[in-house]
Structure 1
Amino acid sequence: MPPSLQHPLVGAASPRFNEVTIDDREVNVPGYLSTHVTVIDFWASWCGTCQDTMPALDALYRDHRAEGLVVVGVSVDEDASLAARGAEQLGASFPIVFDEGQRLQATFRVSQVPTTFVLDRSGTVRWVGRDPASIRSAVTALLDER
């Protein structure tokens, strides 16, 4: 597992949320079944670093979704249309939630974007960071755990 950012949620159970995505899919985090490694990425369409992170997360999702990887993007944009347009421009095929009023951002104690959380199969936050290569390493390590 790569080094994680110092974050109060590392080692704790992830906050639960049930949201509807920008394309009307229901998302439950952590999922009802404790069989998935989950990535939660807080991002915004105006975020320069997110321009690199989002495509890397999409590639990770496409590479490992058959193994039980779940990726959820949480947009902290001011408007849902900006989130939808940004997700489309960045080619995100995973679910995107618009965080109206930044409720989830506050719950997860996110102070800057991008910030990515990697949860193990039991819903425990095992890693927090921003670097796409480290995100991939954290996910691979958790997928290898049985």
Structure 2
Amino acid sequence: MPHLKELYGRYKDQGLVLIGVHSDADVAKMKAAFTELGINFPIAQDGERKTMKAFHGDSYPDYYVIDRSGKVRFADLANAELDRAVEMLIKERVVSASRR
């Protein structure tokens, strides 16, 4: 989680939106844990793991990067890959904005 907090802090002003999906069925326990960790992005509860199934997730945690148009651009990433994927999409936005 510290890695996600750092990534979000670095890119939130450039348009990065993080949404966590957690499979813990105990919502109160989940909220307490994320409050204690200082999580600064929204976390949804998915006790039935429907999200993981929809994205064909095979591990926990799993990371998916969805672009501004809603297209899943990267799936099943490790931390280092997540950084590169986010940086690439942020740069795409900067390049396309500079061409206007």
User: When the two structures are superposed, what TM-score results if normalisation uses the length of structure 2?
Assistant: 0.81
Q: Secondary structure at the match of 2:10?
A: helix
Paired with 2:36 and 2:57, the residues of 1 have a C-alpha distance of 24
1:88 to 6, 29, 35: 35
**Considering only CA atoms, is the larger Rg found in Structure 1 or Structure 2?**
2
Higher relative contact order (CA 8 A, sep 6+): 1
Paired with 1:130 and 1:93, the residues of 2 have a C-alpha distance of 21
Paired with 1:142 and 1:110, the residues of 2 have a C-alpha distance of 22
1:105 to 18, 36, 52: 52
Paired with 2:58 and 2:80, the residues of 1 have a C-alpha distance of 21
Structure 2: segments with no counterpart, 5+ residues: none
Paired with 2:8 and 2:89, the residues of 1 have a C-alpha distance of 14
Q: Deviations over 1:59-106 (max 9, x none)?
A: 111111111100000011121122212212332100111113222222
The structure in which a higher percent of residues are helix is: 2
Residue equivalent to 1:76: 23
1:121 to 60, 68, 87: 68
Paired with 1:134 and 1:110, the residues of 2 have a C-alpha distance of 16
Residue 17 of structure 2 aligns with an amino acid whose one-letter code is: V
Residue equivalent to 1:45: none
Residue 42 of structure 2 aligns with an amino acid whose one-letter code is: P
1:55 touches 1:91 (CA, 8 Å); kept in 2?
A: no
Residues 1:61 and 2:16 are matched in the alignment: no
Aligned-residue Cα RMSD (Å) equals 1.5
Give aligned pairs, total.
93
Residue equivalent to 1:138: 85
Paired with 1:125 and 1:133, the residues of 2 have a C-alpha distance of 18
